[in-house]
Amino acid sequence: MNSRLIFLVEDNLSDVELTKRALKRRHISNTMLVAEDGKEALDYLFATGAHAGRDLTDLPALVLLDLKLPRLDGLEVLRRIRADPQTKRLPVVILTSSNEERDLAESYDLGANSFIRKSIDFAQFAQAMEYLGVYWLVLNEPPPKVSPC
Amino acid sequence: MLSTPLRVLLVEDSESDAALIVRQLGMAGYAVSQERVETAGQMRAALQGPEWDIVIADYNLPAFDAPAALVILQQTGLDLPFIIVSGHIGEETAVALMRAGAHDYLMKDHLARLAPVVERELGEARMRRERRRAGEQLKSNAEELARSNAELEQFAYVVSHDLQEPLRLVAGYMRLLAERYSDQLDKDAQEFIAYAADAAARMKKMIADLLAYSRTGRNGREMVAVACEAALDQACADLRAAITESAAEISHGSLPTVPGDAAQFTHLFQNLIGNAIKFRSQAPPRIRVSAELHGQEWVFSVRDNGIGLDPQFADRIFMVFQRLHAREQYPGTGIGLAIARKIVEHRGGRIWVESEPGKGATFHFTVPVSPPGVKV
Amino acid sequence: MPMGSHLEKTLRRVVAVCSLGAGALALLALVGWVFGNWKIGALGNNYVPMAPSTALMLILLSGGLFLHSRWPASRAARRLAFLAGSSVGSMSLLVWSQRFLGYQLPVERWLAPATAAVGAIPVGLTSPLTALTVLPAALALLLESPPLSRHRLCRWMAPTLALGAFMASLAVLLSYAAGFSLLYGSRTVPMALPAAVSLVLLSCGILAAAGPLAWPIILLEAGPVDSAASRPRWSMLGPLALLLFLLLATGIAGSFHLRQLIESARLTAEREVLTVADSKAAQIAEWWQERRTGARVILRTPMIQARLLQFLSGSAPAGRELLAWMEMQRELNNYRQVVLYDARGMPRLSAPAEVSTPSAAHNQHFQAALRAKDILTTDLHAYGEAARGEPSLVTLSLWIPLGVKPGTDAPAQGALRIENDPYQFLYPLIQSWPGSSRTAETLLVRREGDQVVYLNELRHRASTGLFLRLPIDRWRSLPAVLAAMGQVGVVEAEDYRHVPVLAAVRGVPSTPWFMVAKVDQEEVYAPYRRGAWMTMIVLLALVLTTTLGVGLLWRQRDNQWFREQQQADRRLNAELEERVKDRTIQLEASNRELEAFCYSVSHDLRAPLRGIDGWSMALLEDYRDKLDEQGCRFLERVRSDTQRMGRLIDDLLLLSRVARGQIQRSRVDLTAIAQSVAARLQEAEPERRVEFATQAGLAAQGDARLLEIVLSNLLGNAWKFSGTRPLARVEFGQTNVDGRPAYFVRDNGVGFDMTYAQKLFGAFQRMHKASEFPGTGIGLATVRRVIHRHGGRVWAETQVDQGATFYFTLEEEV
C-alpha cells in the first residue's frame, strides 16, 4: 500500500482543482490520483479495463468518493469496493455535496468510513481537507495488507 | 360457523322484546353486544359512547318513538342502519319512516326476517362507508397531488428566480475582474477567474433549464391538432446549425396528426434529435423518425446511429440533471431528456429508450390518440 | 292521514269504489223489496232477484269494508268491521245450513213477503251458492280486522279467502254473461245477478283491503318492498289489467260460442221432438181411422147387420158362426173384445168368451149409441181401479148400433162393441221414442171441461193413465194444456213435474186427442252445461296461472333490476377504488419526481457555487497584493453572495422536505430544545448580549426534528431582529389563547408593520431589506408548514419598533 496516495473520485474538474489546492495549502503533500467516474475508479482499483496489469496490492491510502458520478454511481462503487476481499478494508471517505439523509444512511450501511459534506464556503472546505488529511493519513492506523490467497 | 360480532343499540322499552331480538340475531350467528335505551337522552348518551353497528328501534315507547330516534341518529351524522321492529304499524307510516331515512321495518312476529335484513343493511352500510372513504381518499389524493405538483413548480420557479439575481451579480463581478485586472494577473490567476466565471455561467444555464423544466406541462394551452411532420420540420429548422455542422441526415416516415401543443412537440423533437446529433459516433448521424398506431396510442420512434448507451442507465437518463458523461466530453446540463419526459407524460404517454453501447439508440415515446381525460 | 305510497292509494281507492258499488246494489235490491217491487233486484226479467237477506248481508259487509279502509286507525271503525264480518259470516252459515237442515229461516219469509217465483224458483230465498260465497268474504274481512290481523296465518288466509270468493262470484257472473245461468235448471236457488256483481266487487275490495303486503298483491307487484321510493309503483297494474282483459275477452268469446252451441242444440232437439210428434200423431191418426173404418164396415154391411140381428132374434146356430166371425174379427184387427149386445143392453155374445161385467158406463154408452144410430166412440177410459203401481186399466171402445137404417126412425136392436186395448198398439206407440233418451216422452191428453186428462202411462210417474188430471187454469203453461188449447209447435215450459222441458205440441188429427212430445231441457243442455263448467274452470285456472306467471316474471325482472342496481353500486365502488389507486400512484410518482428533483438540484446547483467561491478565495489568497481594494471587495461580495445562494438552496430543500416527510410523533421537550438553540446562537455570536428567558417544563407531542426547526427559526429570527437593541431580550413560553394553550416567542427587536402580516408566512416574503437583515425569507414559510402538519396554527403580533411575538399552537392531545 502506497501510504502516500490519495484516490479522489470526482467528476467536477473545478472541485478537483479546489481539492488539490486545499490539500496543497495545508501541506498535505501526498500524491493525488483522480478518477472522473465510477467505472474508471473500479477499473483502477481492480486493475481492469484501462488499468489492466496494474499491481493489485498497490492500493491507495485513502479514497475520497463523490456520490453523484456519471455512469456508475458512487454508492455502487462503494458496494463493489466493500464486496471485494482485496479492497474491503480500504478506507473510503464519502465527499459529496449532497445533504440527503438517504445518502448518509446508505453510505454508512454500505460501510463507508466517514461522510463529509462539501460546503460552498471554500474556507470551510479547505479546513475540512486539512483535518481530513491529518486524520486519515497521519493519525489513523491503516488496515493491514490482505494476503493474496 | 364463526360468530360475527355485532353491536346493537336497541331502542325498546320491553326487555322481553329486546331479548327476543337479541336471541334472533344470536341464532343467525351474530355475537351480539347490545345496549337498550328508552329515552332520547339515553340514546344520545349511548351514541356518544362506543361504536355501534346498527340501531333497532321499536315504534312506540312510553317516552320516545322511532321517528324521534331516527332524528337523533341523523343529527349525530353517523351512518348506521336504522331498523324499526314493531307490533303493528300501518303501511303508510312505515313507508313514511323509510322516506325519512329508516332503512327497513319488520313486524315483531315476523322476526325471522330480521337476520337477513340486518345482514343486507350492514352490507349496504359497509358499501356506503367504503364509497365515502374512497371518495374522500380520492379527494385528498387529488388535493395532495395538486399541491405537490404546484410545489414542484413553485420550487423550481423560486429557486431559479431567487438565484438569478445574485448570480447575475457574481457573473458581473467576475467579468469586471477579468476586464480590469487581467493584465495585472498571471496565467494561473486568469485561470482561476476563468474557472469561476465558467461555474457562474454553468449555473445560469442550469437555472434557465430548471425554469424551463418547471414551466413545461401546465401552461394551460388548449389542445389543437398538431401535424407532427410540421413540428419535426420546425425542430430541424431550429437545429439547422448543428445539422449542417454534423452533416446529419434526418428522415421520417409518415407522421400522424395528434391533439397536443405544437410548441411542445417541436421542443420534444428538437430535444431528441439534438441528442441524437450530439451523441454521434464517427459516422455522420443518420436519424429516422417514424410513428405506428398501437391500439389507442401512437408510438413514435427516433432512431440514430450514435454512440448508444448502456441499458442499465436507460432509466437514469430521464432524470433531472442526470448525465452519463463528463462535462468536457459532451456539453449540456442533463435536463433535456427530463424535459422531454415531462412533455410526454403530461400528454399522457410514456418515453423509453432501447440501446446498446456503440450501436446507436432508439428513443420511443407514445401519444394517446385522444386527449387526456379528467385532469387533476 | 299519513301519506302512503302510490300503491296504497290505488288500493284504497279500489276498496272504496268496490265497497260503495256493492253496497249500492244491495241497497237497491233491499229498497225494492221494501217497496214490494222485487224485480228491481233482479236486473233481468227471467232472473232471480237478490234475496233480502242477501242484500242485508252484503250491505253489512260493504259497510264494514268501507269503514275499515277509510278510517284504518279508528278503533271504532275496526270494531265495526270486525262485527260486520262476524255477523255476516254467521248469517251466511245459517242460511247455507237451511239447505241441509231443511228448514227455512222465518226471517227470510218475513223479509220476503211476496210468494212469487221466477220459473219454479221461489224468490226471496238466499241461494246457498251466495251464502257459500259470502261466507269466505265475511271471514276474510274478519281476518283483516285488527284483533285477528296480528297473526300471520290470518293475514295469509284473508286474501286467500277473498280470492276464493272473487273467483266463485266471477264464475257466476260469467255464466250469466254466457246466457245459461247456473243452477237455473235445478232445485237450488241460483245466485242472483246483482248478488254476483256485488260479490265480485266486494271480494275485490276485501282483497285490496288486505294491503300491499298481501301475498297476491306482492306476487303481482314486482320485487321486494324496498324503501327506494324512487321506483315506479305501477307494476301491479300491468298484470291486473292483463288478467281483467283476458277474463273479459275469454268470457265474451266463450259466452257467444256457448250461446251458439246451445242454440244449435236446442234446434236439434226441437226438430227431434217435432219429428217424433208428427210421426206419432200421423200413426195414431191412421190407426184410429182404421178402427173407425172397420167399425163402419160392420155398420154399413147389411149382411153383417142381418146376421147379427138374426142372432139377436134367436137363431142359435147362427150364434156359433157368429162367434167364429167375431173371433176372426177380433184376431184380425187386434181387438181386445168383441161383444154383442141385445136391445136391452145385455151382452149376448163375446169373443173372447169372458164377459166383462156390465157397468153403468157401459149402459150409458149403449143407450147413447142406440140413440145416435151411428158409431159411437167411447174414448179411452179407465174401468176399475188398478192396483198400486200397476198400469191402469184403460180401454177404448166403439159401439156399433145394429139394425139402424139411415133415414128411418127404426130403433136399433142391439149393438156391437168393439173394444180396443190401448196397450196393444196405442200405448206402446206413444211410449216409444226413436233413439235412446233419458227423459224424453210422448203423451196423449184430452181436454175434459176445465181439465186435461193424461191418457197414457207417463214415463216419470206411475199409474197416471187417465188418472192424472190437471186443472187448466192452474197449469196454463203446461205443454199438455197448451196442446189441449190448440197450440201447435215447440214450447219451452215446465211439465207436470215442474221440470223445464222442450215440448212439441199438436193435436192428433181425427181424434179428440192432443199429443205432447217432450224432452227435458236438462238433457238437451246438460252436456253443454257440463262443458261450460269445465271450460270456465279451465279458463280461470289458465288465467290465474298466466297472471301468476306474469307476476313472477315481473318480480324476477324487478329482482334483476335490484341485482343490477347492486352490481352497478359495486361497480361504482370498484371504479372509485380504481380511481383512488390511480390517483395514489400518480401522487406517488409526482412525489418521487419532486424528491428526485430536489435531490439533483441540491447537488448539481451547489457544485458551481462551490467553484465560484473556491476560486474567488483562491484569488484572494494568492493575489491579494496584486488586487486593489475594489478588486478585493468584489471578490468578497462574490463570496458572500455565493454563500447566500447556497443557504437559499438549503432552506428551500428543507422546506420541501418538511412538507413531504413523515411526521414521527413523540414526546418532545420544548424547553430543552429552546435552550440548546439559544446556546448555539450565543456561541455563534459570543459578543452579543442577549437575555434568554425560557419557561421550564414545556413539552408537546410532535416530531422532534421538525419542532427543532421551528424553534430554531423563530428564536433565530428573534435573535436576528433584536440585534439593534443594546440589551436584547428573547422569551419562549406558553400562554392561553382562547382557552387553548399556545406557545410564544417574543423579542424586543424592531418589529414590523402589521399590515403586511398576511404575507409574512409566504415563502420568500421578507419584511426588511436584505441589506438590513440577511435571510432568505424562507424560514417562516417552513415554520408554518411544520405547524400545519402538526395540526396547529401560527400567527404574529407586532408593532414597528415594539418587538414581535410569534404564537403557535400544536394539535390537541387526544
Q: What is the pLDDT of residues B38-93, one digit of tens each?
A: 888 888 888 888 888 899 998 888 888 888 888 888 888 888 899 888 877 776 77
Q: Does A17 touch chain B (CB under 8 A)?
A: yes
Which residues of chain C does B142 touch, with a Cβ-Cβ cutoff of 8 Å? 583
C653 chain-A contacts, CB cut-off 8 A: 99
Contacts A13 to B, Cβ<8 Å: 327-328
H/E segment holding residue B364: strand B361-368
Answer yes or no: do A14 and C653 touch at CB < 8 A. no
Q: How far is CA C769 from the centre of its chain?
A: 91
Compute the distance between CA of residue B64 and CA of residue B46 in angstroms, rounded to an integer: 15
The answer to whether the Cβ–Cβ distance between C638 and B159 falls below 8 Å is no
C-beta atoms of B210 and C580 within 8 A? no
> What separation in angstroms does the CA of C761 have from each of B151, C119, C806?
15, 110, 11
Is residue C755's pLDDT more than 80? no
Report helix angle C6-34 to C193-209, nearest 10.
150
Q: How far is B49 from chain A (nearest CA, A)?
A: 44
**In this complex, how many residue pairs, one in chain A and one in chain B, have their CB atoms less than 8 Å apart?**
19
Bridge partners of B300?
Answer: B291, B365
| From A32-36, C366-370, C443-447, the region with the lowest mean pLDDT | C366-370
Average pLDDT over residues C594-609: 76
Does residue C518 contact residue C441 with C-beta atoms inside 8 Å?
yes
Measured CA to CA, the distance from residue C41 to residue C114 in angstroms comes to 13
Picking from A68, A96, A122, the nearest residue to C614 by CB comes out as A122
B212 contact A CB<8A = no
CB B138 to CB C659 under 8 A?
A: no
C620 chain-B contacts, CB cut-off 8 A: none
**Segments in C423-520 forming alpha helices (H):** 426-431, 479-484
CA distance C546 to C538: 12
Would you state the pLDDT for residue C227? 37
Other Cβ atoms closer than 10 A to C721:
25
Q: Which residue in A has a C-alpha nearest to residue B328's C-alpha?
A: A13
Q: Fill in the amino acid letter for C715.
A: L
Q: C292 pLDDT exceeds 50?
A: yes
pLDDT at C162 over 80: yes
Mean pLDDT of C316-332: 78
CB contact under 8 A, C644 and B134: no
Instruction: List chain A residues with CB under 8 Å of C639.
Output: 121-122
Instruction: Give B199's contacts in chain A (Cβ within 8 Å).
Output: 14
Please give the Cα distance from A56 to C774 (Å, whole number).
Answer: 53
Report residue B192 as a C-alpha cell: 482561476
Select from A17, A120, A121 the residue whose CB has the most chain C CBs within 10 Å, as the one to mutate to test that interface: A120
The pLDDT tens digits of the residues spanning C478-510 come to 888 888 888 888 888 888 888 888 889 888 888
Beta-sheet strands, E only, within B137-205: none
Among chain B residues, the shortest Cα distance to C572 is held by B131
Question: Residue A91 — pLDDT band, cuts 50, 70, 90?
Answer: very high
CB–CB of B154 and C763 under 8 A?
A: yes
**pLDDT for position C155:** 75
Name the helix (H) or strand (E) containing B4. Answer: strand B4-11
pLDDT number for residue B353: 94
pLDDT value, residue C385: 60
Which chain C residues are closer than 8 Å to A100 by Cβ?
599, 602
Assess contact for B131 and C573: CB atoms under 8 A: yes
Min distance B301 CA to chain C CA atoms (Å): 25
A14, A98, A122 ranked by CB distance to C617: nearest: A122
Quick check: C597 contacting A, CB < 8 Å?
no
Question: Residue B56, SS3?
Answer: strand
Selection from C468, C490, C471 nearest residue C479 by Cα: C490
Contacts of B10 (CB under 8 A, 6+ apart): B18, B21, B22, B34, B35, B36, B37, B55, B56, B57
Which class for B51: exposed (0-12), middle (13-18), buried (19 or more C-beta within 10 A)?
Answer: exposed
- Sorting pLDDT into bands at 50, 70 and 90, what band is B149? low
Q: Are C207 and C56 in contact (CB under 8 A)?
A: no
Contacts of A139 (CB under 8 A, 6+ apart): none
Which ranges of A69-117 would DSSP assign to H, the alpha helix? Answer: 74-83, 101-110
How far B176 CA lies from chain C's nearest CA (Å)?
Answer: 9
* Closest CA–CA distance from residue B254 to any residue of chain C (Å): 33
Classify each residue of C314-344 as buried b or exposed e, where b means 16 or more C-beta atoms within 10 Å of its C-beta. Answer: eeeebbeebbebbbebbeeeebbbbbbbbbe
**What is the rounded CA–CA span in Å between residue C123 and residue C267?**
30
Are C576 and B135 an interchain contact pair (Cβ–Cβ within 8 Å)? yes
Cβ–Cβ contact A25 with B under 8 A: no
Q: How far apart are CA C156 and CA C140, in angstroms?
A: 10
- Which of 649-678 (C) contact A at CB < 8 A? 650, 653
List, for residues C539-597, the tens digit of each pLDDT value.
778 777 877 777 777 677 767 777 777 788 778 888 887 877 777 777 777 777 677 77
Phi, psi of C459 (to 5 degrees): -70, -40
Name the average pLDDT for chain C: 78
Tell whether B188 is within 8 A of chain A (Cβ): no
- Report the b/e string of C32-63 with b at 16+ CB within 10 A: bbeeeebebbbbeeebbbbbbbbbbbbbbbbb
Average pLDDT, integer, range B122-129: 85
Share of chain C above pLDDT 90, in %: 3
Percent of chain B with pLDDT over 70: 91
Q: How many CB pairs under 8 A join B and C?
A: 191
Residue C52: name the closest of C69, C68, C28 by CA: C28
Chain B contact present for A103, CB below 8 A: no
Sole residue written with cell 437583515: C773
Q: What separation, in Å, do the N-terminal and C-terminal C-alpha atoms of chain C show?
A: 50
* Cα–Cα nearest to C680, from C641, C709, C646: C709
- Is B199 touching A (CB cutoff 8 A)? yes
How far, in Å, CA of C137 to CA of C166, rounded? Answer: 8
ipTM comes to 0.80
Query: Would you say C297 and C380 are in contact if contact means Cβ atoms under 8 Å apart?
Result: no
Residues of B in contact with C73 (CB under 8 A): 90
Place of cell 353500486: C569
Q: Does C603 touch chain A (CB under 8 A)?
A: yes
Which residue from C minimizes the CA distance to A13? C611
Q: Do B313 and A36 touch (CB under 8 A)?
A: no
Q: Does B198 sit within 8 Å of A70, measured CB to CB?
A: no
Give every strand in the sheet of A2-9, ordered side by side: A31-35, A2-9, A60-65, A92-96, A114-117
Q: Does B141 contact C615 at a Cβ distance shorter than 8 Å?
A: no
Q: How far apart are the C-alpha atoms of B123 and B130, rounded to whole Å?
A: 10
Q: In which band, very low, low, confident or very high, does the pLDDT at A147 lie, cut at 50, 70 and 90?
A: low
Backbone angles phi, psi at C342, to 5 degrees: -90, -175
**Single-letter amino acid code for the residue at A9:** V
pLDDT, greater one: B267 or B109: B267
By CA distance, what is A102's nearest residue in C?
C599
Q: Does A23 touch chain C (CB under 8 A)?
A: no
- Looking at every residue in chain B, the average pLDDT score rounds to 84
- Chain A residues inside the 8 Å CB shell of C642: 120
Phi-psi domain of C528 (left: phi exceeds 0; alpha: psi -120 through 50; beta: other): alpha
Does A97 sit within 8 Å of C611, measured CB to CB?
A: no
Please tell me if residue A124 touches chain C, with a CB cutoff of 8 Å.
no
Q: How many residues does chain A have?
A: 149
* Longest alpha-carbon distance in chain C: 214
- Of A44-58, B177-191, C322-336, C391-405, minimum mean pLDDT range: C391-405
- Asked if A70 reaches chain B (Cβ–Cβ under 8 Å), the answer is yes
Mutate to test the interface with C, among B59, B92, B113, B128 (most CBs of C within 10 A): B92
Q: Is the pLDDT of residue A81 over 60?
A: yes
Closest CA in chain C for residue A97 = C603
Which chains are within 8 Å of B by 3+ CB pairs?
Answer: A, C
Contact B211, B160 (CB under 8 A): yes
pLDDT band at C230 (very low <50, low <70, confident <90, very high): very low
CB distance B259 to B225 below 8 Å:
yes
| A-interface mutation test, from B170, B313, B317, B321, most A Cβ less than 10 A away | B313
Q: Is A107 on the interface with C (CB under 8 A)?
A: no
Cα separation of C141 and C269, whole Å?
A: 47
When scoring B192, B321, B323 by the number of chain A Cβ atoms within 10 A, the one with the most, hence best to mutate, is: B323
Which chain B residues are Cβ-neighbours of C562 within 8 angstroms? none
Distance from CA of A86 to the nearest CA of B (A): 26
* Alpha-carbon distance A147 to nearest alpha carbon in chain B (angstroms): 34
- In this complex, the residue of B90, B170, B185 whose CB is nearest that of residue C642 is B170
Most confident of C67-81, C442-456, C519-533, C704-718: C704-718
Task: Please answer whether residues B339 and B212 qualify as being in contact, where contact means their C-beta atoms are separated by less than 8 angstroms.
Answer: yes
Element (H, E) at C395: strand C394-402
pLDDT digits 0-9 by tens, C113-145: 555 665 556 666 777 788 888 888 888 888 887
